[in-house]
Amino acid sequence: MHPPVDLTEDLARFRDQLATYLKEDDLERVCAAYQFSADAHRGQFRSSGHPYVSHPLAVAETLAGWHLDTQALCAALLHDVVEDTAISKAEIAERFGKTTAELVDGVSKLDRLEHQSYEEAQAENYRKMLLAMARDVRVILIKLADRLHNMHTLDAVRPDKRRRIARETLEIYAPIANRLGLNPLCRELQELSFRHMHPLRYQVLAKAVKAARGNRREVVSKILHAIERRLPECGVEAQVQGREKHLYSIYRKMRDKHLSFSQVLDIYGFRIIVKDVPSCYLALGALHGLYQPIPGKFKDYIAIPKANDYQSLHTALIGPYGTPVEVQIRTTEMHHVAQAGVASHWLYKDTQSLPELQRKTHKWLQSLLDLQSASNDTAEFLEHVKFDLFPSDVYVFTPRGKILALPRGATPVDFAYAVHSDVGNRCVACQINFESMPLRTELRNGDRVEIVTAPHARPNPAWLGYVRTGRARAEIRRFLKTQHNEESATLGERLLGQALRGLGVDPAMIAALDWERFLRSCGGKSKSEVLTDIGLGKRLPAIIARHLLEGSAAGAGASEESRRGAILIRGTEGVAVQLAACCRPIPGDPIVGVIRKGQGLVVHTHDCPVIIKQRGDWVDVDWEPGISRPFEVVIRVFVANQRGVLAKLAAAIAEEQSNIVNVSMDQESGDTTTLTFTLQVSDRQHLARILRNLRRVPEVVRIMRCKEKPKD
């Protein structure tokens, strides 16, 4: 039995808070929502022992601090009603309106029974919440306020759950708060997460900061008075505020830069708030005249705002006794946006920069919908979002001078996809500051980036190894997945055609009605899906062929003795048809195909030892006449160890118009050297001419063709 807790004082404080900006009718509506929530949660208690309604009340108080509207406040008070009581979404819609019900639904978790694990359930919850947030940003504001109160009351839950919730907060909710410009909320969530994830480290660091605060009080006071005297002398009216670095920021700096606490000197900083933008730069000049600036530590976020529209001048100075001092300079309007972010839409309606902030927020929220359409898998979607949640702190220029903000470590491929998905998909090269550079080059602040495209280019799977933005990663994966399915469907059609001809039926004779009958019986979604499954090895073409012929007119005259046509291989089919790396077949080699589940058709030479045990799964394949593309082949040449022999071999190879892709050397003994070449050849006859040329070199002892890939 929990002891009774009186919420009268909390409720009175909440009413007083609402009365400062809500009309009487709206105030009564919010109070009605509180009463509805209290009745629904009656008899329910939190782990702390408080009545459950104390939680939605605390969430609504946080939102009232941002001056959110009546619908959001009602949704905050009702956000757990659907999940934890018998009240339905329809009842909330009927009583408090459809919009409030939609906000409640966006915040509510999904039924965990639908998922196989806690991790999968949480990933799906994040997905649902983020997509609801893309439709209405108030969803995430309610959820962030909900998470803040949960973090404040986390001591009441068991340690393992406490650490898990703290990690979720640090990885998901704090970055979202930062991305929406809610900087104080972000810092508070980080501090609380740090305290619950690493309680001993938190306590030790807190004691160290407290001791340092006493030791440095005199220095900090001296700097503060010096700044307050200097600014009016330079004609700058300003408010000067001292601020202490948060424990999590100190901890992260110590961890990332491998510093001890005594080496972290910039624990204290100052914030200077002035009336307009020119005063920001005047104040900066005054400070740089007062104390020496630290080179490389100046950042102008006024000229180039952060992605969440944060604006300030940041500088670091060497104060008295060599003490580093961090200073932020901003206008009152910039301070409002820095403190409340997207919530300043409700809190400061006269702020001039709000339309730009709303545009940037809308653009980011729209990108979540784009990621959703590119990612069918929930975990993949969450991975993309996590990539985009970290602060953008690299600013680069397009050829026309437009500034793009990208995450640190971003590459020209990220830049290309940030411009447009078509530019990314057709990207082949780039120029950074008018110089040709590799696509994997990390971009730096101020780089001018130009992307070179080609009409028939397509994304390279290797890009996934170094792109940093969720948008680029999602678009590359979507393109590769679509391409893979298209190629698999084409291969599946060819394999099914071969199976039908093996039964004496022309594939053209299979009517649409036969396909409809088959799809009804097997439960397939579409003909394309079935063909894709055949190409990926998930369905056997012979079985599909027989099912299609059951009861069809085409199957009436089928003959098992008809000649079975081989599938022709061009070597350019894409990922659906692969040339086996174990035997590296080239045109002219006798070949056989093997269907591998999930891989499609893998082509081997007929004597490849890998496929001897898979004889039952073989597919008849042959080379298509007139193939013109080059194929890679590996040869090993044993030569007498004499000067100039490599040059002779290279000349002999070049004489037959072959390109050397790779060469490696292994000295067997003092007299003999083994050279392994990877060559590009058009077919088996081309390879024979190259080998004949090499045998004419006097130093060549023996030549053999290798089936395995050479070591790098």
Q: Which residues are catalytic?
A: 83-84
CB 354 within 8 A of CB 336: no
Label the pairing between strands 700-706 and 631-640: antiparallel
What is the C-alpha separation between 267 and 142, in angstroms, rounded?
32
| 177-200 per-residue burial string, b: 16 or more CB within 10 A, e: under 16 | bbbbbbbebbbbbbbbbbbbbbee
Can you tell me the distance from the alpha carbon of 103 to that of 124, in angstroms, rounded to the nearest whole number?
17
**Contact indicator for 121, 345 with CB cutoff of 8 Å:** no
- Sequence-distant contacts of 122-128: CB under 8 A, at least 24 apart: 122/168, 123/378, 123/379, 123/381, 123/382, 124/378, 126/172, 126/382, 126/385, 127/372, 127/378, 127/381, 127/382
Residue 407, both tokens? 């995450």
Residue 102 burial (10 A CB sphere; 0-12, 13-18, 19+): buried
User: Under the phi-then-psi rule, with left for phi > 0, alpha for psi from -120 to 50, and beta for the rest, what region is 531?
Assistant: alpha
Q: Are 11 and 34 in contact (CB under 8 A)?
A: yes
Phi, psi of 330 (to 5 degrees): -155, 165
Q: Which of 634, 628, 645 is nearest to 678 (CA)?
A: 634
Q: Residue 669 carries which DSSP code?
A: S
3-class DSSP state of 308: coil
Coil vs helix vs strand at 269? strand
CB 151 within 8 A of CB 160: no
Q: Say whether 591 sits in a helix, a strand or coil.
A: strand
Any idea which residue has 């001048």 for tokens? 313
CB of 519 within 8 A of CB of 526?
yes
Is residue 606 within 8 Å of residue 592, measured between CB atoms?
yes
